[in-house]
């Protein structure tokens, strides 16, 4: 008997769906896309309406053959890939590549993998939505045009193997501009004044803060002097109730942001874990910009809240999606079963599910009710007031379950809690007044989460593109996720106590950054080049408008080829014009000064393996230029002449050991010492400029110990052959080639003959794998 064939894009999803369908169904996986543009070719026919030239990759041919056979035998084929544009495109490619007849092919969609959702989808099949396919195809083709036309220009003018992309280049621009804001920021000092007042009971202290910042230490000293004999009065007490409302349920971007803040997950890590939860049937579809909740979810949330916390904790809320382009799924990310507060699974799965569950419950709970009390203390003849603010939680509401985090939580000052009882016109005594020097804060560098938020605010990208974009710019080394050490700063404190003013100075670390996105020199140079020659492509509004056009294509309001044609007609001439430009200097090259010894100019630029310094211009009549690599932490944007010249003090002789010279230097992989033809890395605690002979010998000895521990067995008869320890166990090495030791053999007991036999057998096996080349017949 023929069965119905269901095709999904992942094996995990197939496994879950199989549980809900009976014996009349077969569920198979396409393992993602089965067709794509050729990897190393343009594959877009510009002259024939931008027709994409799709191919089935070699690794997918066997799978496609198996799916063809299964679909030919099936009574009906149901394409059940995800319900977004990417999923619609996968369904269309399957239909085309497998040659599925329309009369026996249906498309089914669902935003959660539960029995009810799957059975409901089976009763409402539809045709493939070609508008969604066109929207995905337009994005794919446009990105291919940008990548293939701009990348070769970058290879010639900046550095080989670089690439450009429409959305990722704009993301890099955001990071470069923020980094320059940070570098150019000049901090300004001001003074913050706090005072502790002794209340009428003679015991209780009330902490307050002046409601005005003072410009500098001199103004602060004058203010404190004027307060020495002043009499203070409580001139206002106000109490106001206020409410806090819960955040809406998660969209893709808010989940990525909150998982980063609360769980420390990277954006891509969040999506990997969310994908697992979705495919296991625990949450709804994870690529969405909708905050809508289904009636079923609203009903089960109410039941959960009233049963667990009581009726007073429940409040019905219907959230509306603000973004016009909410084209992905039609519901927020939520648990599929609100009666399941915990799940079985890995630690990361449990943590992310807990976050989603609590956020969903909280969004249907009552407001938190608080009371804010403000006490104002003044003195005759002064406009300034000392203010104390306290908040009291009257009813916790949704806070009983969940509180949303923000990027600047760590920087927020904690407000007072419950304030002590105070009466109007009371005259408290001044116990102590302190003026502390503070400084304006530079703009914060982006984290992955805050970059996602900014991209969303600008309308750049969609839920399915945030994680890949951020991963791509890191993979291409335009950006790194890293730390900045900060620097020590001195600040002053003036204290008024018992009528006397005392001054003190303290130090603090400022500018320390952890886990932030930092543009690399290559990222900065590529960004500047694209900004100069392709300003339209790098424009935030242009990129956002392209996304709106994709939305219009998905709605059937715009023909996809017309949108591409409009873009190509202004983009391609810019490519041709830029390609023809000849520059005197390499893109990104900067002259930092003149070498005092040779009188030659000193440059920094991007070399084949990264940022380098150069003395000399390469004039045939002058000595050859000298080159040196920049070290980690240095940038071609900010490096000084002194720092650049210091690079040329390397390589330098450190001393002699065992009759051979030790040389310190910096190479592609960082600082090193070279001894007897071998390179040994210099750890971060030491510098190649200052390492001494004793420290170098210590590194050499440690290296010798490690190498000795690595050797399992050597043979005097054949020194080239050794048995060594590796990450995955012992292996044989011979003439720069490694050979696996078969299971069951004890490495230390192998003889020279046994090792040679293993090498011969391995060589014989490899020669059999190689197919003989057929000679051409004339």
Active-site residue list: 285
Specify whether the CB–CB gap between 171 and 470 falls below 8 A. yes
Q: Is the peptide bond before 399 cis (omega within 30 degrees of 0)?
A: no
Distance CA 165, CA 471 (A): 13
Distance CA 292, CA 739 (A): 58
How is residue 749 annotated by DSSP? G
Specify whether the CB–CB gap between 745 and 731 falls below 8 A. no
Token pair, residue 390, equals 């306290």
DSSP 541-592: HHHHHHHHHHHHHHTTSS-HHHHHHHHHHHHHHHHHHHHH---SS-TT-EEE
Bridge partners of residue 491, in order along the sequence: 506
Pairing of strands 590-594, 232-244: unpaired
Distance CA 37, CA 56 (A): 9
Specify whether the CB–CB gap between 672 and 687 falls below 8 A. no
Token pair, residue 763, equals 């060589």
Q: How far does CA 219 lie from the centroid of its chain?
A: 44
Bridge partners of residue 435, in order along the sequence: 193, 494
- CA distances to 183, 437, 493, 514, 728 from 490, rounded to whole Å, are 20, 9, 10, 22, 52
What value, to the nearest 5°, has the Cα angle with vertex 351 and ends 345 and 353?
A: 75
Token pair, residue 356, equals 């989603």
Tell me, letter by letter, the H, E, C secondary structure of 41-54: CCCEEHHHCCEECE
Specify whether the CB–CB gap between 140 and 52 falls below 8 A. yes
Q: How far does CA 75 lie from the centroid of its chain?
A: 45
b/e sequence 607-617, b meaning 16+ C-beta within 10 Å: eeeebbbbbbe
Closest CA to 283 of 261, 310, 263, 255: 255
- CA distances to 117, 197, 599 from 341, rounded to whole Å, are 20, 48, 73
Specify whether the CB–CB gap between 115 and 123 falls below 8 A. no
Pairing of strands 205-210, 189-198: antiparallel
Rounded to a whole number, what is the distance in angstroms from the first to the last CA of the chain? 53
Looking up tokens 């989603």 gives 356
For 290, the enclosing helix (H) or strand (E) is none
Specify whether the CB–CB gap between 208 and 456 falls below 8 A. no
DSSP 91-116: HHHHHHHTT--GGGEEE---SB-SHH
Those residues with Cβ within 8 angstroms of residue 684's Cβ, 6 or more apart along the chain or in another chain: none
Distance CA 274, CA 280 (A): 10
Bridge partners of residue 493, in order along the sequence: 436, 504
Distance CA 640, CA 643 (A): 5
Bridge partners of residue 584, in order along the sequence: none
Token pair, residue 611, equals 């940022």
Bridge partners of residue 606, in order along the sequence: 611
């Amino acid at each position: 008997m023929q069965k119905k064939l269901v095709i999904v894009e992942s094996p995990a999803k197939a496994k879950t769906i199989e549980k809900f369908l009976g014996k009349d169904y077969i569920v198979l996986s396409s393992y993602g896309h089965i067709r794509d543009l050729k990897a190393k070719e343009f594959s877009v026919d510009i002259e024939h309406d931008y027709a994409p030239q799709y191919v089935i990759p070699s690794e997918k041919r066997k799978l496609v053959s198996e799916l063809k056979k299964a679909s030919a035998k099936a009574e009906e084929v149901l394409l059940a890939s995800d319900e977004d544009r990417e999923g619609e495109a996968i369904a269309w490619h399957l239909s085309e590549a497998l040659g599925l007849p329309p009369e026996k092919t249906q498309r089914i969609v669902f935003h959660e993998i539960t029995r009810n959702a799957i059975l409901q989808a089976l009763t409402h099949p539809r045709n493939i939505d070609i508008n969604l396919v066109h929207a995905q195809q337009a994005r794919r083709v446009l990105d291919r045009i940008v990548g293939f036309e701009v990348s070769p220009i970058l290879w010639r003018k900046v550095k080989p193997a670089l690439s450009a992309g429409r959305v990722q280049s704009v993301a890099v621009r955001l990071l470069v501009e923020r980094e320059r804001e940070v570098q150019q920021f000049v901090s300004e000092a001001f003074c913050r004044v706090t005072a502790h007042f002794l209340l009428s009971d003679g015991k209780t202290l009330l902490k307050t803060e002046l409601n005005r910042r003072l410009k500098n230490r001199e103004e602060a000293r004058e203010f404190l002097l004027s307060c020495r004999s002043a009499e203070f009065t409580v001139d206002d007490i106000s109490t106001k109730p206020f409410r806090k409302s819960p955040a809406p349920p998660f969209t893709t971007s808010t989940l990525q942001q909150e998982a980063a803040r609360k769980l420390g997950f990277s954006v891509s890590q969040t999506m990997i874990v969310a994908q697992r939860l979705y495919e296991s049937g625990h949450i709804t579809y994870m690529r969405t910009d909708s905050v809508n909740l289904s009636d079923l979810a609203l009903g089960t949330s109410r039941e959960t809240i009233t049963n667990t916390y009581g009726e007073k904790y429940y409040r019905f809320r219907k959230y509306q999606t603000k973004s016009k382009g909410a084209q992905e799924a039609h519901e927020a990310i939520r648990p599929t079963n609100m009666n399941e507060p915990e799940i079985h699974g890995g630690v990361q799965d449990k943590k992310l599910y807990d976050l989603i569950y609590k956020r969903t419950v909280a969004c249907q709970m009552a407001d938190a009710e608080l009371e804010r009390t403000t006490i104002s203390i003044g003195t005759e003849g002064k406009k300034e007031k000392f203010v104390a603010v306290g908040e009291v939680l009257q009813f916790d509401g949704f806070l009983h379950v969940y509180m949303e985090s923000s990027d600047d939580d760590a920087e927020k000052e904690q407000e007072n809690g419950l304030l002590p009882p105070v009466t109007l016109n009371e005259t408290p005594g001044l116990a102590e007044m302190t003026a502390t020097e503070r400084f304006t804060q530079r703009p914060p560098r982006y984290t992955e989460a805050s970059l996602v938020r900014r991209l969303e605010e600008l309308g750049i990208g969609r839920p399915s593109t945030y994680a890949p974009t951020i991963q791509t710019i890191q993979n291409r080394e335009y950006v790194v996720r890293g730390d900045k050490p900060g620097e020590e700063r001195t600040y002053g404190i003036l204290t008024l106590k018992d009528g006397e003013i005392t001054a003190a100075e303290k130090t603090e670390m400022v500018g320390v950054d952890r886990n932030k996105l930092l543009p690399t020199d290559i990222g900065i140079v590529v960004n500047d080049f694209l900004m100069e020659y392709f300003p339209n492509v790098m424009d935030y509004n242009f990129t956002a408008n392209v996304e709106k056009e994709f939305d219009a294509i998905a709605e059937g309001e715009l023909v996809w080829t017309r949108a591409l044609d409009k873009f190509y007609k202004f983009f391609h001439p810019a490519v041709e014009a830029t390609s023809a430009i000849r520059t005197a200097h390499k893109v990104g090259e900067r002259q930092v000064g003149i070498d005092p010894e040779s009188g030659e100019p000193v440059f920094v630029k991007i070399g084949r393996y990264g940022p380098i310094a150069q003395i000399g211009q390469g004039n045939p009549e002058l000595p050859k230029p000298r080159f040196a690599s920049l070290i980690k932490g240095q940038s071609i944007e900010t490096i000084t002449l002194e720092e650049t010249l210091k690079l040329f003090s390397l390589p330098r002789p450190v001393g002699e050991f065992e009759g051979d010279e030790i040389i310190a230097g910096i190479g592609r992989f960082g600082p090193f010492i070279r001894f007897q033809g071998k390179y040994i890395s210099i750890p971060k605690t030491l510098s190649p400029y200052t390492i001494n002979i004793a420290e170098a010998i210590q590194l050499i000895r440690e290296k010798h110990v490690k190498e000795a521990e690595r050797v399992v067995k050597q043979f005097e008869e054949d020194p080239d052959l050794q048995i060594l320890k590796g990450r995955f166990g012992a292996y044989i090495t011979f003439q720069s080639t490694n050979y696996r030791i078969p299971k069951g053999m004890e490495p230390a007991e192998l003889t020279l003959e046994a090792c040679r036999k293993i090498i011969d057998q391995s060589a014989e096996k490899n020669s059999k794998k190689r197919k003989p080349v057929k000679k051409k017949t004339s």
